C-alpha cells in the first residue's frame, strides 16, 4: 500500500552526504566544509544561509569538482538520475575527465558568486553560452544561437542580437551576471546551484531573475540550491533552509518552521538581524556579537560557544554537539536540545542548566543511509 506522502513527495534529485573539504594552510588545516549533508527534491529549493566564510561557496564548488587538487575532499555527492539520466557519485569522477564535463552545465549548473569566474576573456559571451548548448542540447549552430539569444532576452539583456558577439570586458558587472544566469539556465539542468545570484543586480532585475528561476523550475522540475545572505529572498523562494556556521550545518528545517520556530541560538541571531516592517525608527537591529573565527585547528567543542548568548558553562566546551532530530524535517546541532549532554558545572548561585528546549531530541546518524 502506498501512502499519500509517497504519492505527492517529489523524488530526491541530489543527495550530499558527509561532504568535507579541508585545506592545508601555513597556519594549519582549514576545515572549510566539515561533514555537510543535505538532499534536494525535484522542483524544490533549498536555501543555504550563514555569515561570510561559513563554507557556502566552497560546498557549492565541490559539487561540481571545481576545487584545486591540493584540497582534501571526501563524502558523496549523488545524482539520482530521476529523469533516466543515470545514478552517479560526482566525488568518484576524475575532476578533469570527460564524465564531470558531461555533468557540468547539463546535470548540475552553477551561477557563480563572482561572474568573472564563469567567462574566459578570450571568447565572446555568445560563443561561451553556445558552447554548453552545443555540448548538451543540439549540434546545430543556428539553433544553438537561437536558444542563446532567447535566454539572453529572458534574463533582461535587451539588445541581445548585438551583445551576443561582444566580449566579457564589454559587459558591465550586472550584465555579466545576467549572461552567466542565461548560460546556467539555457541547458535546463537537473540541479541549479545559485551562489548569491542576484547580489550584483538592482532590485527590479533581482525579482525578475528569481521569477525566471522559479518559472524554469515549474516547467522542468529543476531542483535549486540557493545560497544567499538575503533572508527575505529565502522566505520568498525556498522550501527548506540549511544554516551554516564554520563549515557545518547547525540547523535545517522547512522554511516556515525555521522562521517561526528557530532552535539554534545562531539562527535566532540571524533572524533578529532582519529589519521588520513597523519597526520604530529608534529601534536597533540586533547584531550577533563577535566575528566568525577561522576554521583552523578548532578544538572539539561547539564552535559558536564564544558568541552564544545561551551558552551553558561546563557543557558547550566538552565536545562538538551532535546533529539532533527535533522532527523528521527539523535538525539542530546544539547541546540545548541534547538529552545526553553532560551535566553543567554547578555555579556559585546554584543555577542549573537553562531549559529553553521543548524537545529532547535523538541524534541524526552523521552518515545518512544510502
Ligand X SMILES: Nc1ncnc2c1ncn2[C@@H]1O[C@H](COP(=O)(O)OP(=O)(O)OP(=O)(O)O)[C@@H](O)[C@H]1O
Q: Residues interacting with Mg ion, by CB under 5 A? A: 57, 113
Q: What are the backbone dihedrals phi and psi of residue 253, each rounded to the nearest 5 degrees, phi first?
A: -165, 160
339 within 8 A of 360, measured Cβ to Cβ: yes
Between 54 and 263, name the residue whose CB sits nearer to Mg ion: 54
Find the angle CA(359)-CA(360)-CA(361) to the nearest 5 degrees. 95
Closest CA to 74 of 33, 46, 102: 33
User: To the nearest whole angstrom, how small is the minimum distance from the Cβ of residue 56 to ligand X?
Assistant: 3
Whole-angstrom distance, CA of residue 334 vs CA of residue 209: 36
Task: Give which of ligand X, Mg ion, none residue 58 binds (C-beta under 5 to 8 Å, depending on kind).
Answer: ligand X
Task: Give which of ligand X, Mg ion, none residue 183 binds (C-beta under 5 to 8 Å, depending on kind).
Answer: none
Between 147 and 233, name the residue whose CB sits nearer to ligand X: 233
User: To the nearest whole angstrom, how small is the minimum distance from the Cβ of residue 30 to ligand X?
Assistant: 6
Q: Which residues contact 148 (CB under 8 A, 6 or more apart)?
A: 126, 129, 130, 133, 164, 182, 186
Q: Which residues contact 139 (CB under 8 A, 6 or more apart)?
A: none
199 within 8 A of 113, measured Cβ to Cβ: yes
User: To the nearest whole angstrom, how small is the minimum distance from the Cβ of residue 20 to ligand X?
Assistant: 13
Task: Give which of Mg ion, ligand X, none residue 55 binds (C-beta under 5 to 8 Å, depending on kind).
Answer: ligand X
Between 291 and 347, name the residue whose CB sits nearer to Mg ion: 291
Between 129 and 244, name the residue whose CB sits nearer to ligand X: 244
Q: Which residues contact 69 (CB under 8 A, 6 or more apart)?
A: 95
Task: Give which of Mg ion, ligand X, none residue 32 binds (C-beta under 5 to 8 Å, depending on kind).
Answer: ligand X
Between 9 and 291, name the residue whose CB sits nearer to ligand X: 291
Between 113 and 186, name the residue whose CB sits nearer to Mg ion: 113
Task: Give which of Mg ion, ligand X, none residue 47 binds (C-beta under 5 to 8 Å, depending on kind).
Answer: none
Task: Give which of ligand X, Mg ion, none residue 23 binds (C-beta under 5 to 8 Å, depending on kind).
Answer: ligand X
Bridge partners (DSSP) of residue 19 are 36
Between 291 and 327, name the residue whose CB sits nearer to ligand X: 291
| The CA-based dihedral angle spanning residues 253, 216, 79, 53, taken in that order and rounded to the nearest 10 degrees | -50
Between 35 and 50, name the residue whose CB sits nearer to ligand X: 50
Residue with nearest beta carbon to Mg ion: 57
User: To the nearest whole angstrom, how small is the minimum distance from the Cβ of residue 129 to ligand X?
Assistant: 25
User: To the nearest whole angstrom, how small is the minimum distance from the Cβ of residue 59 to Mg ion?
Assistant: 9
User: To the nearest whole angstrom, how small is the minimum distance from the Cβ of residue 53 to Mg ion?
Assistant: 8
305 within 8 A of 344, measured Cβ to Cβ: no
Task: Give which of ligand X, Mg ion, none residue 52 binds (C-beta under 5 to 8 Å, depending on kind).
Answer: ligand X
- Please name the residue that has the C-alpha cell 583552523: 296
Q: Which residues contact 284 (CB under 8 A, 6 or more apart)?
A: none
DSSP secondary-structure letter at 136?
Answer: H
Bridge partners (DSSP) of residue 109 are 192
User: To the nearest whole angstrom, how small is the minimum distance from the Cβ of residue 38 to ligand X?
Assistant: 15
Task: Give which of Mg ion, ligand X, none residue 54 binds (C-beta under 5 to 8 Å, depending on kind).
Answer: ligand X
User: To the nearest whole angstrom, how small is the minimum distance from the Cβ of residue 277 to ligand X?
Assistant: 26
Q: Which chain residues interact with ligand X by CB under 6 A?
A: 23, 30, 32, 50, 52-58, 113, 294-295
75 within 8 A of 249, measured Cβ to Cβ: no
Amino acid at each position: 500500500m502506498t501512502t499519500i506522502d509517497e504519492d505527492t513527495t517529489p523524488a530526491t534529485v541530489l543527495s550530499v552526504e558527509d561532504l568535507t573539504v579541508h585545506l592545508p594552510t601555513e597556519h594549519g588545516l582549514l576545515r572549510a566544509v566539515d561533514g555537510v549533508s543535505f538532499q534536494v527534491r525535484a522542483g524544490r529549493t533549498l536555501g543555504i544561509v550563514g555569515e561570510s566564510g561559513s563554507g557556502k561557496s566552497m560546498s557549492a564548488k565541490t559539487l561540481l569538482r571545481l576545487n584545486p587538487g591540493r584540497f582534501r575532499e571526501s563524502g558523496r555527492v549523488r545524482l539520482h538520475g530521476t529523469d533516466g539520466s543515470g545514478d552517479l557519485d560526482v566525488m568518484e569522477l576524475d575532476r578533469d575527465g570527460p564524465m564531470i564535463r558531461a555533468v557540468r552545465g547539463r546535470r548540475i549548473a552553477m551561477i557563480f558568486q563572482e561572474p568573472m569566474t564563469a567567462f574566459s576573456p578570450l571568447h565572446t559571451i555568445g560563443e561561451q553560452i553556445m558552447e554548453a548548448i552545443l555540448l548538451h542540447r543540439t549540434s546545430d549552430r543556428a539553433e544553438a544561437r537561437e536558444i542563446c539569444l532567447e535566454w539572453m532576452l529572458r534574463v533582461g539583456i535587451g539588445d541581445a542580437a548585438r551583445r551576443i558577439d561582444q566580449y566579457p570586458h564589454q559587459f558591465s558587472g550586472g550584465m555579466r551576471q545576467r549572461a552567466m544566469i542565461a548560460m546556467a539556465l539555457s541547458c535546463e539542468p537537473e540541479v541549479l546551484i545559485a551562489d548569491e545570484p542576484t547580489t550584483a543586480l538592482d532590485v527590479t532585475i533581482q525579482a525578475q531573475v528569481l521569477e525566471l528561476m522559479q518559472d524554469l523550475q515549474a516547467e522542468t522540475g529543476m531542483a535549486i540550491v540557493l545560497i544567499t545572505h538575503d533572508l527575505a529572498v529565502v522566505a520568498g523562494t525556498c522550501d527548506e533552509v540549511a544554516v551554516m556556521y564554520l563549515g557545518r550545518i547547525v540547523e535545517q528545517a522547512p522554511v516556515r518552521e525555521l522562521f517561526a520556530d528557530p532552535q539554534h541560538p545562531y539562527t535566532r541571531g540571524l533572524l533578529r538581524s532582519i529589519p521588520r516592517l513597523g519597526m520604530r525608527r529608534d529601534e536597533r537591529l540586533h547584531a550577533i556579537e563577535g566575528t566568525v573565527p577561522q576554521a583552523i585547528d578548532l578544538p572539539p567543542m561547539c564552535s559558536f560557544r564564544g558568541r552564544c548568548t545561551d551558552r551553558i558553562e561546563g557543557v558547550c566546551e566538552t565536545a562538538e554537539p551532535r546533529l539532533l532530530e527535533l522532527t523528521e524535517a527539523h535538525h539542530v546541532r546544539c547541546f540545548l536540545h541534547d538529552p545526553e549532554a553532560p551535566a553543567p558545572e554547578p555555579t556559585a548561585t546554584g543555577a542549573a542548566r537553562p531549559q529553553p528546549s521543548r524537545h529532547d531530541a535523538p541524534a541524526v546518524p552523521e552518515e545518512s543511509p544510502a
